[in-house]
Amino acid sequence: METKSFFSGSQLKWIAIFAMLLDHTAKIISFQPVMMQSVPFGVEEHPIIGFSQQIFPLFIIIGRLAFPLFCFLLVEGFTHTSNKKRYATRLFLFALISEIPFDLAFSHRLIDFESQNVFFTLFIGLIVIIGLEKFKAFSIRNVMCSIIIVGIGIFLAEFLCVDYGGWIGILLIITLYLFKDLPLLKCIIGALVLLQNSLFGLIAIIPIYFYNGKRGKQWKYFFYWFYPVHLIVLFAIQQFVIVPYFE
């Protein structure tokens, strides 16, 4: 029986963006204990804090959709791009642009080498699948080269502490690439990779499975710029609205 497909690439991007925004809102605009010291009554009784404690866990659950969708869209972009070098350059450029906003938002430091933003994960994953594409013809030599490329990609992601790391982030990208022409198998193996991180991430497999193969309306640079800009905005809200309010 033929599977009905519902989601275009553009629709999947909007789902991923919305999920990511909810996740980052919950994690960045958080009410740290230092902000609560001046609350004159029980923390749980404060209306804002009480509401956040109820709604933010839901935001984080929905946020688990974002990363698998971005990985899937990366593979689709790789498959259809006419210039892989330009694609990789663009990802690397936005990885650099996004690093300071990412560090400010999540560690409150200008530079934090203990974690790197998700664009670095996507960039390393893209370089790995570019390498795998070059050695896709079956031979002992190509299989060995592919294993080495995968190993280097996973090691580099773990060493650099990129978002989602090598064993989840890079491995998921590789899985979605290797089984891109086998939708059901791709989703099953992808789900097994995601189980390392969260049960809720498995929900992302549903829209991936029902992808219709169409790009939809493209907002290319909007999606790229949204990542660093929304991190800066959320960081500013947390630092210049939330913190002064509780102080």
In the chain, what are the domain boundaries?
A: 9-246
At 47 the pLDDT is: 64
- How far apart (Å, rounded) are the C-alpha atoms in residues 163 and 152? 17
At 247 the pLDDT is: 64
Closest by CA position to 47, among listed 66, 31, 58: 31
- Please give the C-alpha separations between residue 156 and each of 3, 116, 120, 123, 240, in angstroms, as whole numbers: 38, 12, 10, 11, 36
Residue 32 scores a pLDDT above 80: no
Residues 79-92: what's their mean pLDDT?
A: 94
Q: How confident is the model at residue 4 (pLDDT cuts 50, 70, 90)?
A: low
Rounded to two decimals, the pTM is 0.90
Kindly state the greatest CA–CA separation across the chain.
70
Q: How confident is the model at residue 168 (pLDDT cuts 50, 70, 90)?
A: very high
At 217 the pLDDT is: 79
Question: In a 10 Å sphere around its CB, with 0-12 CB exposed, 13-18 middle and 19+ buried, how is residue 180 labelled?
Answer: middle
Residue 44 scores a pLDDT above 70: no
Residues 6+ apart with CB under 8 A from 118: 67, 70, 162, 163, 164, 169, 227
Q: How confident is the model at residue 1 (pLDDT cuts 50, 70, 90)?
A: very low
Q: How confident is the model at residue 157 (pLDDT cuts 50, 70, 90)?
A: very high
Residue pair 37/30 in contact (Cβ under 8 Å)? The answer is no
